[in-house]
A = this chain, B = another copy of it.
Amino acid sequence: MTLNRNDCLARDTADPLAPLRDQFALPEGVIYLDGNSLGAQPKAAAQRAREVILGEWGTGLIRSWNDADWFTLPRRLGDALAPWIGAGAGEVVVTDTTSINLFKVLAAALHAQRQVSPQRKIIVSERSNFPTDLYIAQGLAHLLDDGYALRLIDTPEDLPGALGDDVAIVMLTHVNYRSGAMYDMTARTEEIHASGALAIWDLCHSAGAVPVDLNGANADYAVGCTYKYLNGGPGSPAFVWVNKRHQDTFRQPLSGWWGHRTPFAMQPEYTPDNGIGRYLCGTQPMVSLSLVQCGLDIFAQTTMDALRAKSLALTDLFIELVESRCAAFPLTLVTPRDHAVRGSQVSFEHPEGFAVIQALIARGIIGDYREPHIMRFGFTPLYTSFADVWDSVEALRDVLATKGWDKPEFHRRGAVT
């Protein structure tokens, strides 16, 4: 039985999440398959920014640190985000960037290891990890200048062979930004712990996208961003989670005044706050930070079970349609077919992937490209419809057939995140 567009429309009609799409501002003529890079704009965001700027800043002025509870916002947002990553209250703060938060937890984890196993000086990660994670680990190792080094595995299957009594930390991204492949967090964490290492998980492509259970997996530390599936806005502050057993055992090195136990006592000596508060550092960008709540407010209207079911249905449909309707073209599926290890995106390789993506964008189908040759399509169940999937595949087929993508204007390389 061959699927057609009406079948997709019927699935939209039956989709319990379909009404949530109305809460996002999506431009006319665009099918947005890049929510894995920058989430769409909740319609509430502009009004929320107006309240923060005109009311809290303009009228409240300095009083808003108390009256609008600005100072506690990183913790309040952390508590609101926590259930979506299997964390509890007081375990998450929304603050700074993913890179900065990773530095904090890497330093914390290395310090923890130094107390018990000073010979463990290796940080294991994946060559295909999002580069900033590797760069931050390199930066910390370079700063410490004491034998710390990064060991990179080429595939997830290489992990067991990379573990050993010299490994302090394993730092993995739960869902790979390029392939969309997902680790079994529980099994891998257990394996990492059995080897004597600590597990840091990067949830940039997981939070709000797939089920995550940090406490259930007994993970040690996690970081992630809020501007992808969580729809917090461009560059909205990131989050950091620390397992309660580690929270009070370390004073992380980015020890700014927001992490002090009594920040307004203005003591010259740093005394870390108890709990997750010590992972705060400096004053946060309140307008951008406030908008994170707008995304979380939409999540609060559904469940991860519902989101995951639709995400898998969307990605299954996309794979099925591409493979059946674009079979004449040299497309190779990169993302796992197995639901258990698939994130909420689908990546296909094509020898002219960059140009094909540019041609699609010119037609209003926004995916993105990652070196080498990978076309990424993100599926965000809050605002992507089954008809969107159908129309995207039709556009892809048309682009591949007409070769409109081989015009020179589609070959300019630019900044795409």
Contacts and interface: CB of A to CB of B under 8 A. Distances in A.
A37 B257 CA distance: 15
A152 B269 CA distance: 11
A66 interface: yes
A187 interface: no
A410 interface: no
Contact of A136 (B130, B254, B265): B254
Nearest to A95: B97
A77 interface: no
Interface stretch (A52-60, A159-167, A329-337): A52-60
Among A96, A135, A236, A414, find the residue whose CB has the most chain B CB atoms closer than 10 A: A135
A270 B99 CA distance: 13
Contacts of A66: 414-416
Contact of A57 (B41, B100, B413, B417): B41
Given A97-B283, A256-B132, A139 B53 contact: no
Given A54-B41, A62-B368, A287 B234 contact: yes
Interface string A289-302: 10100000000000
Among A34, A253, A286, find the residue whose CB has the most chain B CB atoms closer than 10 A: A253
A32 interface: yes
Contacts of A339: none
A131 B266 contact: yes
A23 interface: no
A289 B235 CA distance: 10
A390 interface: no
A105 to B, nearest CB: 13
Contacts of A111: 143
Contacts of A322: none
B131 A268 contact: yes
Interface stretch (A8-16, A42-50, A193-201, A209-217): A42-50
Contact of A100 (B61, B252, B281): B281
A139 B282 contact: no
A238 interface: yes
A100 B100 contact: yes
Contact of A235 (B25, B233, B283): B283
A355 interface: no
A50 to B, nearest CB: 6
Contact of A25 (B58, B136, B281, B361): B58
A19 interface: no
A46 B54 contact: yes
Contacts of A98: 282-283
Given A96-B97, A285-B285, A61 B40 contact: yes
A184 to B, nearest CB: 24
A53 B49 contact: yes
Contacts of A370: 266
A127 B268 contact: yes
A239 interface: no
Interface string A222-262: 00010100000111111000000000000111111111100
A219 interface: no
A61 B380 CA distance: 14
A64 interface: yes
Given A63-B366, A256-B132, A287-B287, A282 B127 contact: no
24 contacts: A37-B62, A41-B54, A53-B291, A57-B234, A62-B366, A62-B416, A66-B416, A99-B282, A100-B282, A107-B143, A131-B267, A131-B270, A132-B258, A135-B260, A135-B270, A136-B256, A138-B269, A139-B255, A143-B253, A152-B268, A233-B286, A235-B285, A235-B286, A238-B282
Given A97-B283, A100-B282, A266-B371, 7 more contacts: A65-B417, A66-B415, A96-B100, A97-B284, A99-B258, A130-B266, A283-B417
Instruction: Give the 7 A-B residue pairs with the shortest CB-CB distance, closest first.
Output: A97-B282, A99-B256, A285-B288, A99-B282, A139-B255, A132-B257, A234-B286
